[in-house]
């Protein structure tokens, strides 16, 4: 259903507001570069500090540009189940192909609470749902057993796995099925994730190296392991640089070097520091982006 290089889109700002033109130009560039799918208003898109109006705007702007050429997986998660349902309903109404729903952060639900949260969204909105499991940010970790239970619901179709546990996709594959769409949420282990049963990556690095990220996924799909390994090794310094400070500050700085966005982020995040900028510039130069 969803596979390959799927970009976790940044949200460009200008004068404190969403830069609508820059964002839509950026989405068009992503598609032209070969990106296989789009995720607006995820963590990389600064969803925690977008208003609900801005959240809906960014998803709508994405849909206007994509026009069915690549799938759009709208970020609709929240630690409030009712809020997640409302955002997911909007995604469904404007024609998004799926919703990416993060595990509820801060309030630390139990495994039963996680199940009931996703089931409530599933029952309220008829749209494919991808679970976003990222313990480093949300504190909780959805177990394979809970995920297998959720996968029995017809519209729970996959997971964005940001655990960095490379045993997890194989365990999930054996517990659920090969049809369950497993997408890596960690650029640095994207190819290893493929070898363990994954089908793609929701990528931060693809914001600034979309063609290379797509080509790496294409090489894997075509069985060209030499080309896949070449790109994998080339991109590694860039993967590191994108998280040298709290994301998305480094990737927005990198995008600014390409003329795609301002480097601005919203408080409580701050722009990438001068030492961080130097690491980003060096990595981009090594990859040949600047």
Active site residues: 132, 160
Could you tell me where the DSSP H helices lie in 110-244?
111-124, 135-138, 144-150, 168-175, 190-195, 210-221, 225-241
**For 265, phi and psi rounded to 5 degrees?**
-125, 165
Tokens of 272: 């990438």
121 half-sphere exposure, CB direction, 13 A CA radius: 37
Distance CA 190, CA 68 (A): 25
Q: Are 225 and 30 in contact (CB under 8 A)?
A: no
**From the CB of residue 107, how many other CB atoms can be counted at a distance below 10 Å?**
12
**For 48, phi and psi rounded to 5 degrees?**
-60, -25
For the packed helices 274-287 and 249-257, what is the interaxial angle rounded to 10 degrees?
60
């Amino acid at each position: 259903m969803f596979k390959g290089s799927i970009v976790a889109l940044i949200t460009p700002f200008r004068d404190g507001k969403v830069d609508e033109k820059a964002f839509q130009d950026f989405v068009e560039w992503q598609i032209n570069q070969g990106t296989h799918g789009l995720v607006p208003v995820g963590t990389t898109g600064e969803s925690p500090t977008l208003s609900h109006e801005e959240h809906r705007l960014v998803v709508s702007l994405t849909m206007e540009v994509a026009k069915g050429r690549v799938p759009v997986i709208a970020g609709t998660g929240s630690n409030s189940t009712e809020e997640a349902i409302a955002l997911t309903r909007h995604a469904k109404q404007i024609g998004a192909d799926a919703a990416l729903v993060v595990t509820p952060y801060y309030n630390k639900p139990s495994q039963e609470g996680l199940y009931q949260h996703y089931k409530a969204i599933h029952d309220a909105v008829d749209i494919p749902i991808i679970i976003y499991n990222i313990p480093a940010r949300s504190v909780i970790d959805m177990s394979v057993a809970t995920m297998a239970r959720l996968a029995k619901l017809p519209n729970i179709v996959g997971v964005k796995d940001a655990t960095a546990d490379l045993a997890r996709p194989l365990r999930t594959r054996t517990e659920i099925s090969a049809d369950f769409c497993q997408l890596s949420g960690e650029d640095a282990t994207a190819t290893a994730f493929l070898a363990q049963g994954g089908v793609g990556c929701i990528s931060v690095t693809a914001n600034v190296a979309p063609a290379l990220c797509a080509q790496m996924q294409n090489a894997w799909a075509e069985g060209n392991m030499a080309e896949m390994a070449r790109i994998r090794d080339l991109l590694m310094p860039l993967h590191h640089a994108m998280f040298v400070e709290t994301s998305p500050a480094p990737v927005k700085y990198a995008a600014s070097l390409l003329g795609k966005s301002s480097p601005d982020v919203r408080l409580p995040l701050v722009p990438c520091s001068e030492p961080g900028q130097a690491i980003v510039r060096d990595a981009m130069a090594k990859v040949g982006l600047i």
